[in-house]
Amino acid sequence: RINAANVKDLGLAWFADLDTARGQEATPLVIDGTVYITTAWSKVKAYDALSGKLRWEYDPKVPGEAGIRVCCDVVNRGLAAWGRRLYFGTLDGRLIALDRETGRLVWSKLTVDRSKPYAITGAPRVIDGRVIIGNAGGEMGVRGYVAAYDGDDGKRLWRFYTVPDRPGNNATPHLKRAEATWKGDWWTLGGGGTVWDSMAYDPRLDLLYVGVGNGSPWNQAYRSPGGGDNLYIDSIIALKPRTGEYVWHYQTTPGDTWDFDATQHLILADLEIDGRPRAVVMQASKNGFFYVLDRATGQLISAASYVAVNWAKGIDTQSGRPIENPEARIDKTGKPFVVVPGPGGAHSWQPMAYDPRTGLVYIPAQEAGFPYVPEAHWQEAAQGFNTGIDFAAAAMPADPKVRAAVMAATRGALIAWDPISQQERWRVAFKGPWNGGVLATGGGLVFQGNAAKEFAAYDAVSGAKLWSSSVQTGVTAAPVTYSIKGEQYVAVLAGWGGIWALAPGILSEVAGPVRNVSRLLVYRLGGSAQLPPESPVTRPPLDPPATTGTPEQIAEGGRQYGRFCGGCHGDAAYAGTVLPDLRRSALIADGKAWASVVHEGALRDQGMVGFAKVLSPEQIESIRRYVIKRANEDKALGDK
């Protein structure tokens, strides 16, 4: 019912405030008149799809300290359903089955080794009663895998490892082949290759497709000294879902050293290419290239860059390999290099969409480079990021001109892409990156939220904006549409967060500072509900004590901050609006109070664990001195 002619009449039907003020990344699941969502901290809620009344909720009670296990916020991307049951993963590694009608717990299974920094943020998939789930942790140092569980009782049916174990421990043919592509003692570092998001299933071929994440650590000089392709990181893999048996793979970024996961949304489609029908799987990869593969064989059909790329000149269609820029190989040169795209990717986890009538794929794209600086004398730590990249050396300087130039070069777009000709048809430019997932509808519309507090509808053919609504917060999740009693609805989760709202510092606010106001929003034609008045972004003033400490102490604090603190509290100690800004914290004026939190973990229940395992009291004090220095620098720039 909702189409280009009447979308202007779309209004809010109902909304529900959520109880977790962190990133909301789940796509709602709508079944038999009920909207099911997962929220931050792996909570589940069920709402009447017509009225918005809460039917039930389930809290798996994830401990706050589990937050240290994830790189990119305490998010969850949704549920799967089979019969009367719902399935979802938790941040602390459980796979849980609930009764769909009541929310009652049916079973819970631990899917990871909790002595290692695994987590689950992605949604499971269900194939003929088999629940497929992966995990996250590639920034921390784990060995990736995907596994299947019986939907009835939670019994594990199979597990497929994506990277090899130590030599001699790899019994399956696919791992024996992979072993030859690794060097050094990779298995002691985990290797990475986590299956943390995208999967797809082709019932005709009976193949499960999984996207595999980055290597661990990122820097290949440490992960696999001497190089190698490091199979099967950054790969799209086809498996037999009944057994987990390997069928084929395609590796997008062999020997990755830039965090170029291949975990982005996988879309299956039937296209006519060169005059004949082709069954394909498509991905707008994090590395900036759009891939079209034969989904029966994994053969590369075509690939082209859909944003600016400088780490490779293109993809050799004969070998399927990237034509790399040698200067970008920081693991080999040992020198810094600004790589485009950076670790935020040209496209991250946000779902894209395909409309078979227009023949276009709609990509939530972004353009943001990053100065990769190899970390000298890197060693694995038992806590925090293990990347082999010196984030302190790459930190944004307190220079207004540099900041302005970098912010101007950091942007986002909704790109309509022709997968047959590998050409852009239109784009909607956004001031900043980290915009929402995409929904293409039968009404000729493309819906997307963005980082500038807007939810909008565009014409699928031309890209013209036809409707928009202010939602008071950033939207990163993808919408869904459903129909009840002849009325069509569009639902989306809103709530600013995720890695871009945390780690990039001042760059997290390219589109403007955005509060987290977490809600489920549901629209229909003629909807007249109103959100409460919007509250402005407010911040305590910068009022730090005087800068003290030796230059050496402050430099040491910067190094440790970059590795252990910046992922949550922001590059160069500049936090966004989601987590505390340490420059503005009263704790920096009191060394003992600071140590009670950062060393002893006084706030562990809130997700702020102590770092006594990896940092000495002297190092923790040096971080405080560094934050004080940064606060004074930014105060001098006008409290920015």
Which residue has tokens 């039917």? Answer: 55
Crossing angle between the packed helical segments 551-564 and 617-636, to the nearest 10 degrees: 100
Tell me the C-alpha to C-alpha distance, in Å, between residue 240 and each of 148, 178, 431.
11, 19, 43
DSSP-derived 3-state class of residue 42 = helix
- Rounded Cα distance, 216 and 137, in Å: 9
Closest CA to 177 of 167, 187, 186, 190: 167
Are residues 458 and 445 in contact, defined by beta-carbon separation less than 8 angstroms?
yes
Q: How far apart are CA 567 and CA 634, in angstroms?
A: 20
CA dihedral in degrees (461, 467, 470, 476; nearest 10)? -20
Question: CB atoms < 10 A from the CB of 587, how many?
Answer: 18
For 577-611, give the secondary structure using H, E and C.
Answer: CCCCCHHHCHHHHCHHHHHHHHCCCCEHHHCECCC
The conformational region for residue 538 under phi > 0 = left, psi -120 to 50 = alpha, else beta, is beta
Tell me the longest C-alpha to C-alpha distance in the chain: 72
Q: At what angle do helices 591-598 and 617-636 cross, to 10 degrees?
A: 120
Catalytic position from the list 259, 261, 571, 581 = 259
259 is catalytic: yes
Closest CA to 511 of 438, 413, 436, 411: 411
Q: Which residue has 């664990």 as its token pair?
A: 609
Amino acid at 453: K
In SS3 terms, 292-319 reads as EEECCCCCEEEEEECCCCCCEEEECCCC
Distance CA 295, CA 248 (A): 9
Q: How far is CA 497 from the centre of its chain?
A: 10
Q: Which residues contact 318 (CB under 8 A, 6 or more apart)?
A: none
* In contact, 95 and 108? CB cutoff 8 Å: yes
Burial class (CB in 10 A: 0-12, 13-18, 19+), 538: exposed
Q: What is the DSSP letter of 568?
A: H
Contact residues for 70 (Cβ-Cβ < 8 A; gap 6+): 91, 119, 121, 136, 137
Contacts of 404 (CB under 8 A, 6+ apart): none
Q: Hey, which residues are catalytic here?
A: 259
